[in-house]
């Protein structure tokens, strides 16, 4: 039976990880009247500025995870790199955790993730496990090829593209997999929410543009410039992927659109995703509020796009470290439709995600044009040039 009467605070939510995703998740939770505790190793982490309480501790510290569970009615997380062994034990003891530790364990290992998706008929690039990266393996591999570390990768780390024989020296010396180099026309993404009862909400399909130097998502355009048939194909493929995992929560599904017009799943994030930040201003229900609704047993919110939008990641400028110094903010905020988000990170370093901006306009093209204007003037530097 659906809960109809709530106390105050509505529920006690525990968030594992206190970075920018945790901060924006805590903002959504506090707006709705929830009590929030975050677990993060950094005192006064971004999410701690919003949450009611912080437990300072590592995300693989079983004692700290149990302490968070004791203070919370339900747990969720903003990062994949956490202790699933302890989470599975807590889950078996009756602690509510979304997405489930079993789903997280699958997604943590990129090879296992691809194997599960492929077994369930979800279209993915061709892949193979690399048991040992020997000289013979590298000598016989067909290039170009993508090598991915099975665990621990994020924001472009743990992925290398071996385009020619000279690149072989850059191969990852870690448990990994090879994946075909997909000849794609666009990199697409979609946020999918799925409730414990199997109800789903699909956000618009967006296009991600990646920075060649950092391999970090630079700009997100919502909606993607694709026809309705491709958009529907992407929605169905993403839904199929989340249902294949029996996932409950909010998921970011990254996809390739091939030159032949096929959609392939690249990777899945079991949490709110960088490609969904635009939803805070541009959708009826943000991806962060949606996750709070899912884990609290509340009805899913409407995911409709209110207005076309573009999002720009604000990265720490190369050549600077230390306390952040923001340049060009007044000019940026003078642009109609622009919203500025700073993540409250105490220090910056080159290419660190420090914030983002979202611009709403009548067309995606207009929003992107404004993004490029801001990109040339709004900078996050550091106190110490180096």
pLDDT in tens, 1-51: 567 888 888 999 999 999 999 999 999 999 999 999 999 999 999 999 999
pLDDT the model gives residue 213: 75
Is the four-CA dihedral 268, 270, 276, 277 of positive or negative sign?
negative
Q: What is the pLDDT of residues 65-104, one digit of tens each?
A: 999 999 999 999 999 999 999 999 999 999 999 999 999 9
Residue 134 pLDDT exceeds 90: no
| Structural domains of the chain in order of their starting residue, each with its CATH number | 12-97 (3.40.50.20), 126-180 (3.30.1490.20), 184-385 (3.30.470.20)
Helix spans in 32-94 (H) = 62-70, 84-92
Distance between CA atoms of residues 362 and 262, nearest Å: 29
11 touches 296 (CB < 8 A): yes
Decide if pLDDT at 156 tops 80: no
Q: What are phi and psi of 195, to 5 degrees?
A: -90, 170
1-10, 54-63, 237-246: the lowest-pLDDT one: 1-10
Residues 41/59, Cβ–Cβ less than 8 Å: yes
Mean pLDDT across the stretch 299-323? 97
Predicted local distance difference test score (pLDDT) of residue 2: 66
pLDDT above 90 covers a percentage of the chain that reads 85
Tokens coding 27: 């903002």
Rounding to the nearest 10 degrees, give the CA dihedral for residues 37, 41, 45, 51: 0
Whether 228 shows a pLDDT value over 80: the answer reads: yes
């Amino acid at each position: 039976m659906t809960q109809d009467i709530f106390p105050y605070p509505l529920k006690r939510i525990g968030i594992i990880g206190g970075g920018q995703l945790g901060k924006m998740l805590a903002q959504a939770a506090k707006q709705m009247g929830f009590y929030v505790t975050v677990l993060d190793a950094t005192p006064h982490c971004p999410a701690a500025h919003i949450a009611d309480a912080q437990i300072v501790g590592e995300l693989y510290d079983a004692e700290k995870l149990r302490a968070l569970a004791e203070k919370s009615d339900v747990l969720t997380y903003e990062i994949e790199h956490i202790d699933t062994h302890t989470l599975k034990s807590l889950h078996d003891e009756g602690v509510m955790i979304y997405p489930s530790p079993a789903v997280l364990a699958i997604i943590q290992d990129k090879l296992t993730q691809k194997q599960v998706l492929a077994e369930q008929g979800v279209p993915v690039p061709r892949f193979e496990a690399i048991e040992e990266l020997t000289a013979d393996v590298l000598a016989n591999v067909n290039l170009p090829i993508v090598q991915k570390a099975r665990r621990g990768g994020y924001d472009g780390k743990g992925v290398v593209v071996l385009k020619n024989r000279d690149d072989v020296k850059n191969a990852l010396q870690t448990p990994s997999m090879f994946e075909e180099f997909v000849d794609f026309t666009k990199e697409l993404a979609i946020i999918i929410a799925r409730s414990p009862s199997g109800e789903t909400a699909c956000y618009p399909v967006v296009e991600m543009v990646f920075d060649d130097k950092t391999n970090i998502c630079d700009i997100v355009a919502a909606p993607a410039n694709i026809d309705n048939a491709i958009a529907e194909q992407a929605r169905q493929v993403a839904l199929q992927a989340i249902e294949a995992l029996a996932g409950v929560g909010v998921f970011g599904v990254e996809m390739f659109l091939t030159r032949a017009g096929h959609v392939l799943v690249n990777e899945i994030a079991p949490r709110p995703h960088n490609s969904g930040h635009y939803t805070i201003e541009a959708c009826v229900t943000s991806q962060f509020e949606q996750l709070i609704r899912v884990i609290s047993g509340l009805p899913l919110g409407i995911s409709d796009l209110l207005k076309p939008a573009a999002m720009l990641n604000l990265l720490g400028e190369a050549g600077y470290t230390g306390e952040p110094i923001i340049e060009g903010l007044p000019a940026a905020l003078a642009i109609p439709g622009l919203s500025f988000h700073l993540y409250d990170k105490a220090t910056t370093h080159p290419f660190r995600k420090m914030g983002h901006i979202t611009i709403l306009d009548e067309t995606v093209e207009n929003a992107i044009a404004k993004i490029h204007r801001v990109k040339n003037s709004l900078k996050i530097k550091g106190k110490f040039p180096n």
